Amino acid sequence: MKVLLTEDNLELQNNIVTYLKNEGILCECADSIAACKEKLISFDYDVLILDRMLPDGDGMDIIPFVKARNISSAILIASAKNEINDKVDGLNLGADDYITKPYFMTELIARLKALYRRNKLDGNQILHLGNISIDTDKQEVIVDQTPVTLTKKEYDLLVYIYANKNRVLTKLAIAEHLWGDYTDTLGSLDFVYQHIKNLRKKIISAGGNDFIQTVYGSGYKYALDS
């Protein structure tokens, strides 16, 4: 899962990023409406976390921007504004969820996972790719009752391909999803091919379907019927 956190409190921002990282969630940050919009134009995110009281306005002003551009990110408002009217206004404007500060990190994680399942995985905890099963809560992969051990990046790649099964994914899109802001420092995208190769090898060796189709000159796509 790749998240964009829009929060101007740097201490809270750092705490959230650290906690999400420990949970295996890639989190990038923006500290203003302008910075958030700039990132949304350039990159794809699974979930957008919006603070409301930002230096350049109300974070809810980002929602019409997201909707007008058909950006697919789920939207979670995280705000100290806790009146019922605040929540209703946010949800009516197009937010998918609203959590009030202060909150427990465990609740934030649960809400992010629920939004990701609903928005990207058709609401399912268990995903099926032919004879491959993925438990997204436990982050376990099973092929015909046989567990398959994947690295964190391989697991994220597997779920990312499933979640975008109607799209051809370029090497750059895959790299940005797996490495986020660090992609520009990597120099070459050849490592994407290596991760695809390793994932394929592990799945096929366990008796799983080869669900990754190479689209020459473009990238990769999900190859099985959904």
pLDDT tens by residue, 19-63: 999 998 999 999 999 999 999 999 999 999 999 999 999 999 999
pLDDT at 84: 95
Contact predicate 16/8, CB 8 Å: no
Model pTM above 0.75: yes
For residue 27, give the nearest of 42, 9, 15, 11 by alpha carbon: 15
**DSSP symbol at 134:** E
Give the domains, in start order, of the chain with CATH numbers.
2-121 (3.40.50.2300), 126-222 (1.10.10.10)
Residues 6 or more apart from 31 whose CB is under 8 A from it?
6, 7, 8, 10, 13, 54, 55
DSSP string for 59-94: GGGHHHHHHHTT---EEEEEES--SHHHHHHHHHHT
According to DSSP, the β-strands at 74-79 and 47-50 are: parallel
pLDDT at 160: 93
Helical (H) or strand (E) element with 175: helix 171-179
Buried b (16+ CB within 10 A) or exposed e, 36-51: bbebbeebebbbbbbb
Tens-binned pLDDT, residue by residue, of the chain (226 aa) = 999 999 999 999 999 999 999 998 999 999 999 999 999 999 999 999 999 999 999 999 999 999 999 999 999 999 999 999 999 999 999 999 999 999 999 999 999 999 999 998 988 899 998 899 999 989 999 999 899 999 999 999 999 999 998 889 999 999 988 888 767 667 678 889 999 999 999 999 999 988 899 998 889 998 875 4
For residue 141, give the nearest of 157, 119, 165 by alpha carbon: 157
CA-CA distance, 177 to 175, in Å (whole number)?
Answer: 5
pLDDT at 201: 95
For residue 29, give the nearest of 103, 104, 15 by alpha carbon: 15
pLDDT at 185: 64
pLDDT at 123: 87
Query: Is 29 strand, coil or helix?
Result: strand
N-term to C-term CA, the chain: 20
Give backbone dihedrals phi and psi of 83, rounded to 5 degrees, phi first: -70, 150
pLDDT at 226: 43
Contact predicate 51/79, CB 8 Å: yes
Whole-number Cα distances in Å, 211 to 26, 84, 180, 201, 221: 24, 46, 24, 11, 8
